[in-house]
Every structure is written in C-alpha cells, then in structure tokens.
Amino acid sequence: MTPGDELLFCALGGSGEIGMNVNLYGCRGKWLMVDLGLTFADPYYPGVDLILPDLEFIEQRQEELVGIVLTHGHEDHIGAIPYLADELKVPLYATPFTAALIREKLDQEGLTGQVKVKQIERDGGVTLGPFDIRYVALSHSIPEGNGVLIDTPHGKVFHTGDWKIDEQPVLGTPTGDDAMQMIGDSGVRALVCDSTNVFDNNPSGSESSVYEGLLQEVQKAEGRVLVTTFASNAARLETLGRVAQEAGRELVVAGRSLDRIIRVAQSTGYLQDFPQTVRFEDAMQLPRKNVMIIATGGQGEPRAALNRIANGQHTLKLSEDDTVIFSSKMIPGNELAIGRIMNALSDLGVHTVTEKQVHVHVSGHPGRPELKQMYDWIRPDILIPVHGENRHMREQAWLGKEHGIPHTVFQTNGDVIRLAPGEPEKIDVVRTGRLILDGDVILPADGQTINQRRKISWEGVIAVALPIDSDSQLAGDVEVRAFGVPVEEDQEDFLADCADSATKAWEPGMDHAKAREKVRLAVRRCANAWTGKKPIVEVLIVTCN
C-alpha cells in the first residue's frame, strides 16, 4: 500500500515484543522509518545470537522510503543497520554519538561508505519529503537519547524513543519543562510512547543517585570488585570511573562492547575524565583491594566477560571474598542465565550484590509518574503505546485513557493505523516477521534451517548409509550413526537394531526416493521404540561398482 493524503503509522518491530524497534510513518506517497533495531535470541533459536526484523513490506516500496531517523544508539534501535540498511538505499540520520556508533558498526561489517550516515546536531532537524523532523533531547541510559517531533501536513507526531525524566543526569542536560510544554502548546496529533516500565508505580530515578550506593559497596569490599552493567550506559561508566578513583582502585575494563562505547564516547566529547585503565595481566599483579573491574555480561550472556571470569576461562580471576556488583536490571527471560553465573560465583566464594539489596541501578525508562508528566506536557489527541509486550502497551493505553487522552490506540506489529484525517483507525495489516542472523547468513526465523535445528536439539539425528550394487541389491552392511539420541550404555545394540530395520525395509528394484522414505520411517520407528523420541533420520544411498 502507498500512503495517500493521510498520516499513517505502522510498526514493523517493537510492538508486542521487547526490542527490534522499527516504526514507519506514511504520508502523501512517502514513508519515513524511525529506528532499525534487533533483539537477542533465546534458546528457542539454537545456535543463533541475533534476531532481525523482516522488512519485506518496506523493501517492496523502497522508492517510497525517504530516510531512516535513529533516536539513540541502543542495539534494539540501531543494531540491525549493518545487516539491513544497505538494501534500503536511503540515508541514515542521527545525532553525533549515535552516528559515531553506527559508523563503527558499518566499518566492522565492511560497509564503509556504502551506507550514508548524515549527522544531525542535537536539537537539529531535517526535512524528508512531507516530514519535517526535529530532534528533541530526552534523558535515557545512553548519551544523546532523543525523541523526534515529526511535523506533517496532517499534524505533528511526537515519537519519544526510549526516555526517562532525570533532573540530575550524569551526562547531558535535563529535559526542560518549558521546551516540552512548548511542544504540547504547538498542538500534537499523536504521542508514540515507550511502554517498557508502565507497571512501575515509582519514577525511574536519577542516574546521579547510584553513586553513593556503588561507592559504599566498593569501599567496604575486602578483595577485588567487579561491576557489571549495560555497556551502552556511558553515564554509569562515568559514575564507575569516579567510584574507582574515590575508592583508590585501579580500573580494568573487560568486554569489547565496553571498549567500543568508551572509545566512541570520548571521541564525541563524553567521558573526558574517565581514568586510565590497566591491562588484565597488570591488574592480576596488584593487591586485590586495589582493583576494580568493569565487565560485560550482567544479563548472563555466555560469551561475555563475566561468564568467562566466573567459569575460570578469562585472564582476570575472582576468588573468595571478592565482590561482584550487578549494576543493572534483570531483563525478563534472562533469570536462568543470570542465576547460573551467580551460582558459579558463589562456588568461588564471591559475594554478589544486586539492585534489590543496594541502590546500585536506576532504569532508563519511564515509570507511571513520568508517563503522566509526558501526557501533561504533550497533551496529544492520540496515544500510541510502543516498545513493549502486549501487556505493557495495553496497560499504557488504559493509563492514557484514564489520564484524559481522547484516543488511545492499541496496535501490534503490522497494524496500519490512520492517524489523520478523522479519528484514528486500523485500516490494514501488513506482513511482518523475524529473520535470524546465523553465522554470516540471514535466514527466516521460521524457516527450514532453524526448524531442523530445533528438532535436532530436541530429538537428535540418525544417519543411515546403504551400499547398493548395480542391481539395487545391498552390497554390504548398513552403517548407522546416531547423534544426540538418548542411548548410551546400549548404543551398540541400538545401532545394530536400527541397521537391521533399515536392511529389512530395503526393497531391491524400488524407486530410490520411495525406498529411502521407507527406510527412513523404519529407522525412526525403531528409534521411537527404544527411546520414545522421533529423531531426524537421514538416509544416504551409496552405489558401489
């Protein structure tokens, strides 16, 4: 579909899920994209790290897309750019810190110069087709969080991105009441708003408030201290640098994503007072009480620094009476992975400290009081909750309605909402979906490869080789190998039984495709009788001279 003389909204990702944020605005034959993020895989996608949005809808309308505006530099808002942006053939627009992160990502993927990244100064703007766009600085847990005010022939939209209210931010300037009030005074048709923390009855809290709790825990620790936090939270890194200096500890940084954020932040004017770090090997030679480590991996990521340290697979070591501080929120779904790391640390005799025990973390997303303040500032005609699972977005729709917003729209990925003219309504549903990045290959998340891999991980696989002569007679013994099938002590008997089943199923002269299927079913029945499982069975017919 092509937008007519109207204003449309459609999420291709991030509505009905946490992460993978991709939003489209349509007007007078053109589309504007806001953000292009990814999400991280869970065990349902074995062997896969990253999940990407399926952009088929907008790829088929590439000539109608005027550009991609990025609100900030978190992976769930920019992470898909190196894999998908080149196909869209439009410029990207971002403020300096986010633009620097994007350029580094593109460089790492060998896309330098292939995707245009146009830097917009903070509070700057750009006009793309019928969309007049202005960046609006908002606090978040990464430098240069922005909302975008999009002015169209059918009214204004304020798209918040991720945000919070922080009157004492560690980096950047607080969001001004007057500036936000002026946006509302100008008349806003729709507020498209972050829903992540809608169930929190308290404000998110100021980033500056965690300094005392972190300092207290570091100062009282007897041994080495490791603090794990979200790598992108440059404000937290600024705080941790101050804590290390005040506590008289040398600072070590473990994790490539942390190295990247520090490098990009310093190149764009942030973290200018961040202390000089020491090498892993040098840190291990220092007195334990003189070392503080900042490491990735607080969400239980298996390949991150904390997991490798906890399992003794890293140059940095922790032992009894050392301390690990989780200066981050446990993201739903990561509880088991984080628990495994905490148990590994416990086995080492390491103390662990979380936000539930000490004030060592604040969220980057708005609680209910902040959402209500945004409603009072912007006073939109329409509220469209995004950035959340269905329960988050539905709750925010109810909250906005209770607060007096005339129209609240619950939508999910693929719903096309007409915002103007007239009252908001869903007018269409377009195709959305997920792609997986499997190694260096992008595939459908529900395609044959991942479905087979799931089945292999659940059921195992059996390979059968049948040697056949020119008369289609068996020319030797059938060979069977099993992988991941639950037979161990009886494996030889099991394989012999499978081979016998394959031998009996083979019929000389039968069409090879039919014969292969008959053998496959016979071996699978045999495996099911032994194990109660139905493994994948692959049959190879080898013609012998």
What pLDDT is attached to residue 115? Answer: 94
* Spatial CA neighbour of 166 closest among 207, 197, 213: 207
**Percent with pLDDT over 90 in the chain:** 85
Q: Determine which helix (DSSP H) or strand (DSSP E) holds 147, and give its type and residue range.
A: strand 146-152
pLDDT digits (tens, 9 = 90+) for 503-517: 999 888 888 889 899
pLDDT digits (tens, 9 = 90+) for 288-337: 999 999 999 998 888 899 999 999 999 999 999 999 999 998 877 788 88
What pLDDT is attached to residue 83? Answer: 95
Query: Both tokens of residue 292?
Result: 């503080």
Supply angle C-alpha 441, 442, 443, rounded to 5.
115
What pLDDT is attached to residue 512? Answer: 86
pLDDT digits (tens, 9 = 90+) for 65-76: 999 999 999 999
Give strand pairing partners of 468: 474, 543
The position carrying tokens 């032994």 is 530
Answering whether pTM is above 0.85, one says: yes
In order of their start, the domains of the chain are 7-202+363-439 (3.60.15.10), 207-353 (3.40.50.10710), 448-543 (3.10.20.580)
pLDDT class of 57 with cuts at 50, 70, 90: very high
pLDDT digits (tens, 9 = 90+) for 193-209: 999 999 999 999 999 99
Give strand pairing partners of 294: 227, 253
What's the burial of 421, exposed, middle or buried (CB within 10 Å: 0-12/13-18/19+)?
exposed
What pLDDT is attached to residue 545? Answer: 67
Quote the CA–CA distance of 240 and 227 in Å, as a whole number: 8
pLDDT digits (tens, 9 = 90+) for 167-223: 888 987 777 789 999 999 999 999 999 999 999 999 999 999 999 999 999 999 999
Per-position DSSP letters for 301-352, written without gaps between them:
-TTSHHHHHHTT-SSS---TT-EEEE-S---TT-HHHHHHHHHHHHHTT-EE
pLDDT class of 131 with cuts at 50, 70, 90: very high
**Residue 414 pLDDT > 80:** yes
Cis peptide upstream of residue 421 (ω within 30 degrees of 0): yes
Collapse the DSSP code of 357 into the 3-class scheme (helix H, G, I; strand E, B; otherwise coil) and give the result: coil
What pLDDT is attached to residue 49? Answer: 85
pLDDT digits (tens, 9 = 90+) for 421-478: 999 999 999 999 999 999 889 999 999 999 999 999 999 999 999 999 888 888 889 9
